[in-house]
Structure 1
Protein backbone atom coordinates (compact mmCIF):
# COMPACT_ATOMS: atom_id res chain seq x y z
CA UNK A 1 0.00 0.00 0.00
CA UNK A 2 1.41 3.36 -0.92
CA UNK A 3 0.43 6.88 0.10
CA UNK A 4 -0.98 7.68 -3.35
CA UNK A 5 -3.39 4.73 -3.18
CA UNK A 6 -4.51 5.69 0.31
CA UNK A 7 -5.02 9.36 -0.62
CA UNK A 8 -7.03 8.55 -3.71
CA UNK A 9 -9.27 6.00 -2.02
CA UNK A 10 -9.53 7.19 1.58
CA UNK A 11 -13.27 7.79 1.33
CA UNK A 12 -13.74 4.21 0.13
CA UNK A 13 -11.75 2.81 3.04
CA UNK A 14 -13.04 5.20 5.69
CA UNK A 15 -15.88 2.97 6.82
CA UNK A 16 -13.69 -0.11 7.04
CA UNK A 17 -11.00 1.81 8.92
CA UNK A 18 -13.55 3.15 11.39
CA UNK A 19 -15.07 -0.32 11.78
CA UNK A 20 -11.66 -1.80 12.63
CA UNK A 21 -10.53 1.13 14.76
CA UNK A 22 -13.69 2.71 16.20
CA UNK A 23 -11.90 5.56 17.95
CA UNK A 24 -10.83 7.01 14.58
CA UNK A 25 -13.22 9.85 13.73
CA UNK A 26 -14.08 11.52 10.45
CA UNK A 27 -12.22 14.55 11.74
CA UNK A 28 -9.11 12.42 12.39
CA UNK A 29 -9.24 11.09 8.84
CA UNK A 30 -9.68 14.58 7.44
CA UNK A 31 -6.68 15.83 9.40
CA UNK A 32 -4.27 13.18 8.07
CA UNK A 33 -5.20 14.06 4.45
CA UNK A 34 -4.73 10.49 3.27
CA UNK A 35 -1.10 10.22 4.36
CA UNK A 36 -0.34 6.63 5.27
CA UNK A 37 2.32 7.42 7.86
CA UNK A 38 0.07 9.89 9.65
CA UNK A 39 -2.76 7.32 9.71
CA UNK A 40 -0.46 4.67 11.11
CA UNK A 41 0.81 7.12 13.73
CA UNK A 42 -2.75 8.06 14.68
CA UNK A 43 -3.76 4.42 15.10
CA UNK A 44 -0.61 3.70 17.11
CA UNK A 45 -1.37 6.66 19.37
CA UNK A 46 -5.01 5.66 19.97
CA UNK A 47 -4.55 1.88 20.11
CA UNK A 48 -0.88 1.17 20.81
CA UNK A 49 -0.64 -1.30 17.93
CA UNK A 50 2.59 -1.97 16.08
CA UNK A 51 3.30 -0.44 12.70
CA UNK A 52 3.51 -3.82 10.93
CA UNK A 53 0.15 -5.07 12.21
CA UNK A 54 -1.49 -1.77 11.23
CA UNK A 55 0.03 -1.94 7.73
CA UNK A 56 -1.17 -5.55 7.36
CA UNK A 57 -4.68 -4.56 8.47
CA UNK A 58 -4.76 -1.58 6.08
CA UNK A 59 -3.56 -3.80 3.22
CA UNK A 60 -6.31 -6.30 4.04
CA UNK A 61 -8.88 -3.50 4.05
CA UNK A 62 -7.69 -2.29 0.67
CA UNK A 63 -7.64 -5.80 -0.80
CA UNK A 64 -11.14 -6.46 0.52
CA UNK A 65 -12.36 -3.21 -1.04
CA UNK A 66 -10.79 -4.16 -4.36
CA UNK A 67 -12.47 -7.59 -4.23
CA UNK A 68 -15.82 -6.00 -3.41
CA UNK A 69 -15.41 -3.60 -6.33
CA UNK A 70 -14.52 -6.46 -8.68
CA UNK A 71 -17.57 -8.43 -7.49
CA UNK A 72 -19.78 -5.41 -8.06
CA UNK A 73 -18.46 -4.95 -11.60
CA UNK A 74 -18.97 -8.65 -12.33
CA UNK A 75 -22.56 -8.45 -11.08
CA UNK A 76 -23.22 -5.33 -13.16
CA UNK A 77 -21.81 -7.05 -16.25
CA UNK A 78 -24.08 -10.06 -15.64
CA UNK A 79 -27.12 -7.81 -15.23
CA UNK A 80 -26.21 -5.89 -18.38
CA UNK A 81 -25.88 -9.14 -20.31
CA UNK A 82 -29.25 -10.32 -18.97
CA UNK A 83 -30.87 -7.03 -20.00
CA UNK A 84 -29.39 -7.29 -23.50
CA UNK A 85 -30.63 -10.88 -23.85
CA UNK A 86 -34.10 -9.93 -22.62
CA UNK A 87 -34.23 -6.98 -25.03
CA UNK A 88 -33.21 -9.22 -27.91
CA UNK A 89 -35.95 -11.72 -26.97
CA UNK A 90 -38.57 -8.97 -26.87
CA UNK A 91 -37.36 -7.64 -30.21
CA UNK A 92 -37.72 -11.09 -31.78
CA UNK A 93 -41.23 -11.51 -30.36
CA UNK A 94 -42.25 -8.06 -31.59
CA UNK A 95 -40.85 -8.73 -35.06
CA UNK A 96 -42.83 -11.99 -35.27
CA UNK A 97 -46.04 -10.24 -34.21
CA UNK A 98 -45.49 -7.49 -36.79
CA UNK A 99 -44.90 -10.08 -39.53
CA UNK A 100 -48.11 -11.91 -38.59
CA UNK A 101 -50.19 -8.72 -38.31
CA UNK A 102 -48.61 -6.02 -40.48
CA UNK A 103 -51.66 -3.83 -41.03
CA UNK A 104 -52.63 -3.43 -37.32
CA UNK A 105 -48.94 -2.82 -36.55
CA UNK A 106 -48.83 0.07 -39.02
CA UNK A 107 -51.99 1.62 -37.54
CA UNK A 108 -50.65 1.24 -34.00
CA UNK A 109 -47.35 2.87 -35.05
CA UNK A 110 -49.20 5.75 -36.68
CA UNK A 111 -51.35 6.22 -33.59
CA UNK A 112 -48.36 6.21 -31.26
CA UNK A 113 -46.50 8.65 -33.54
CA UNK A 114 -49.55 10.94 -33.62
CA UNK A 115 -49.84 10.90 -29.80
CA UNK A 116 -46.16 11.64 -29.36
CA UNK A 117 -46.43 14.49 -31.86
CA UNK A 118 -49.36 15.98 -29.89
CA UNK A 119 -47.50 15.65 -26.59
CA UNK A 120 -44.40 17.38 -27.94
CA UNK A 121 -46.32 20.42 -29.19
Structure 2
Protein backbone atom coordinates (compact mmCIF):
# COMPACT_ATOMS: atom_id res chain seq x y z
CA UNK A 1 0.00 0.00 0.00
CA UNK A 2 1.43 3.37 -0.92
CA UNK A 3 0.89 6.65 0.89
CA UNK A 4 -1.93 7.75 -1.46
CA UNK A 5 -3.82 4.53 -0.77
CA UNK A 6 -3.14 4.92 2.96
CA UNK A 7 -4.67 8.39 2.88
CA UNK A 8 -7.67 7.12 0.94
CA UNK A 9 -8.29 4.30 3.42
CA UNK A 10 -7.56 6.42 6.47
CA UNK A 11 -11.03 6.11 8.00
CA UNK A 12 -10.82 2.29 7.89
CA UNK A 13 -7.24 2.23 9.19
CA UNK A 14 -7.46 4.71 12.08
CA UNK A 15 -8.40 2.08 14.64
CA UNK A 16 -5.62 -0.23 13.46
CA UNK A 17 -3.10 2.61 13.65
CA UNK A 18 -4.20 3.36 17.20
CA UNK A 19 -3.90 -0.32 18.11
CA UNK A 20 -0.39 -0.50 16.63
CA UNK A 21 0.78 2.74 18.25
CA UNK A 22 -1.31 3.04 21.40
CA UNK A 23 0.32 6.24 22.61
CA UNK A 24 -1.27 8.16 19.74
CA UNK A 25 -4.43 9.99 20.80
CA UNK A 26 -7.64 10.54 18.89
CA UNK A 27 -6.55 14.15 18.41
CA UNK A 28 -3.27 12.92 16.92
CA UNK A 29 -5.15 10.69 14.50
CA UNK A 30 -7.39 13.59 13.48
CA UNK A 31 -4.33 15.79 12.90
CA UNK A 32 -2.53 13.09 10.90
CA UNK A 33 -5.56 12.68 8.62
CA UNK A 34 -3.93 9.89 6.63
CA UNK A 35 -0.63 11.64 5.99
CA UNK A 36 2.20 9.10 6.29
CA UNK A 37 4.86 11.75 6.96
CA UNK A 38 2.86 13.14 9.89
CA UNK A 39 2.41 9.64 11.27
CA UNK A 40 6.16 9.14 10.95
CA UNK A 41 6.82 12.35 12.90
CA UNK A 42 4.48 11.40 15.72
CA UNK A 43 5.94 7.91 16.03
CA UNK A 44 9.40 9.46 16.29
CA UNK A 45 8.21 11.96 18.87
CA UNK A 46 6.19 9.59 21.07
CA UNK A 47 8.37 6.49 20.83
CA UNK A 48 11.85 7.99 20.38
CA UNK A 49 12.39 6.23 17.06
CA UNK A 50 14.69 7.43 14.32
CA UNK A 51 13.18 8.41 11.01
CA UNK A 52 14.38 5.14 9.50
CA UNK A 53 12.95 3.06 12.36
CA UNK A 54 9.57 4.78 12.04
CA UNK A 55 9.59 4.27 8.26
CA UNK A 56 10.31 0.56 8.76
CA UNK A 57 7.46 0.23 11.27
CA UNK A 58 5.04 2.07 8.99
CA UNK A 59 6.10 0.00 5.97
CA UNK A 60 5.50 -3.22 7.94
CA UNK A 61 2.11 -1.91 9.09
CA UNK A 62 1.12 -1.06 5.51
CA UNK A 63 2.23 -4.48 4.27
CA UNK A 64 0.05 -6.16 6.92
CA UNK A 65 -3.00 -4.09 5.98
CA UNK A 66 -2.95 -4.17 2.18
Q: Same fold (TM over 0.5)?
A: yes
Q: Separation in 2 of the partners of 1:52 and 1:16?
A: 21
User: What's the offset of the Cα at 1:7?
Assistant: 0.9
Partner of 2:8: 8
Matches within 5 A, 1:1-121: 2-66=2-66
For structure 2, which runs of at least 5 residues remain unmatched after alignment? none
Q: Separation in 2 of the partners of 1:13 and 1:51?
A: 21
Larger radius of gyration: 1
RMSD: 1.7
Q: Separation in 1 of the partners of 2:3 and 2:62?
A: 12
Which structure shows the higher helix fraction?
A: 1
More relative contact order, 1 or 2 (CA 8 Å, 6+ apart): 2
Question: Paired residues, what number?
Answer: 66
Off by >4 Å, runs of 4+ in structure 1: none
CA contact (8 A) 1:13 1:62 kept: no
TM-score by length of 2: 0.77
